[in-house]
Amino acid sequence: MKKTVTALALSIGMLLPFASYAKNNVVVVATGGTIAGAGASSTNSATYTAAKVPVDALLNAVPQIQNLANVTGVQALQIASESITDKELLTIARKVNELVKRPDVNGVVITHGTDTLEETAFFLSLVVHTDKPIVVVGSMRPPSALSADGPLNLYSAVALAAADDAKGKGVFVLMNDDIFAARDVTKTINIHTDAFQSQWGALGSLVEGKTYWFRNIAKRHNNSSEFNIDDIKGDALPLVQIVYGSTNMLPESYLALQKAGVKAIINAGTGNGSVANYIVPTLNQLQQQGIQIIRSSRVPQGFVLRNAEQPDDKYGWVVAHDLNPQKARLLAALALTKTKDAKEIQRMFWEY
């Protein structure tokens, strides 16, 4: 009897170390930004050069991530995110798409500049078909600064990407312990570590490597999206640009975009997407020439109501609903890969 118990104890003991190797595999796709930045001194928390530190150095600076998952890194780009164009956005999306298709990859983290992080995250939620966790993470201070936020943000992002309960919940932005939905998170402060907010609230929180969930998103994303990165050829999306609303606008601002060949204009209007009465004729002229007119708002919260400030049905215009202008630009560009029908484009703005 004693021999049997000893043998059983030994066999379990031999298995235990392998049990710790049953960790998920997470790939970190580095693109640049402040999280990879370098300042002249530790007191330079806001003056630094973004996109300097390579991915291996980022991972080696936080060895604790290897306790969470088997983590490897790839350097997709090394760029300050304000300089991302469609070319770089499509590069990131194609790299993430390639990774999530691999059976040995359980989750993906993208380290990214915070300036346009929300756009990349939203785009990935629209075009990458997977239920594996995709987590976009950045930092507001460079790793060279006192109380840098990047290392803990990266640790938390890896924990989220490795979390089985994060599957199927969409693309996340992880910043400052908050788990945000890619579609409604936005950068609201340009110098503090709690820079990201969503008017609909975070999906949850991640503390000490553990997820705490409080809501799910209500919109189509990833596997339920009608868009797919595999269908997008080349390095450019249909050209869509934004005009920022204010007093004393010029019709010439819109006509210049028409000359540049835009297929849609996102009007970041005042208030509930208002358009100046002396601008309406120009927008109608452009709409009749086939340029989609999409009313968003410069106001960070709320959503643009159809047929309220403007007779959208009469004009054949689209409203961006609660999407901010920079996200509306991306959805409009993807919509234009499918249709030129304003009613169909409006459906897409209701559903994503």
115 appears as a binding residue in the annotation: yes
97 lies in the site for ligand DGL, by CB under 6 A: no
Q: Is 107 exposed, middle or buried (0-12, 13-18, 19+ CB in 10 A)?
A: buried
- Is 339 catalytic? The answer is no
- Is 247 catalytic? The answer is no
33 lies in the site for ligand DGL, by CB under 6 A: yes
CB 48, min distance to ligand DGL, A: 8
Among 82, 226, 252, 313, binds ligand DGL (CB under 6 A): 82
Tokens 């950068």 belong to 187
320 lies in the site for ligand DGL, by CB under 6 A: no
Q: Nearer Cβ to ligand DGL, position 50 or 257?
A: 50
Question: What are residue 77's phi and psi, to 5 degrees?
Answer: -150, 170
Q: Nearer Cβ to ligand DGL, position 146 or 255?
A: 146
Q: Which of 91, 114, 120, 282 is labelled catalytic?
A: 114
User: For the window 139-158, what string marks contact with ligand DGL as x by the rule CB under 6 A?
Assistant: -x------------------
User: For the window 113-142, what string marks contact with ligand DGL as x by the rule CB under 6 A?
Assistant: xxx----------------------x-x--
Tokens 């790839």 belong to 74
39 lies in the site for ligand DGL, by CB under 6 A: no
Question: What are residue 283's phi and psi, to 5 degrees?
Answer: -65, -40
Strand-pair partners of 241: 265
312 lies in the site for ligand DGL, by CB under 6 A: no
Integer-rounded Cα radius of gyration of the chain:
23
282 lies in the site for ligand DGL, by CB under 6 A: no
Question: What are residue 85's phi and psi, to 5 degrees?
Answer: -115, 180
34 lies in the site for ligand DGL, by CB under 6 A: yes
Q: How far apart are the first and last CA of the chain?
A: 64
Residue number with the smallest Cβ distance to ligand DGL: 113
Q: Nearer Cβ to ligand DGL, position 56 or 82?
A: 82
Q: Is 125 exposed, middle or buried (0-12, 13-18, 19+ CB in 10 A)?
A: buried
Q: Which residues contact 230 (CB under 8 A, 6 or more apart)?
A: 97
Question: 60-84: b or e for each residue (b if 16 or more CB lie within 10 Å)?
Answer: eebeebeebbebebebbbbbbbeeb
How many whole angstroms separate alpha carbon 320 and alpha carbon 297?
A: 8
173 lies in the site for ligand DGL, by CB under 6 A: no
List, as residue ranges, the binding site.
Answer: 81, 114-115
Query: Which residues are near ligand DGL by CB under 6 A?
Result: 33-34, 50, 80-82, 113-115, 138, 140
> Which residues does the annotation mark as catalytic?
34, 114
List, as residue ranges, the binding site for substrate.
Answer: 81, 114-115
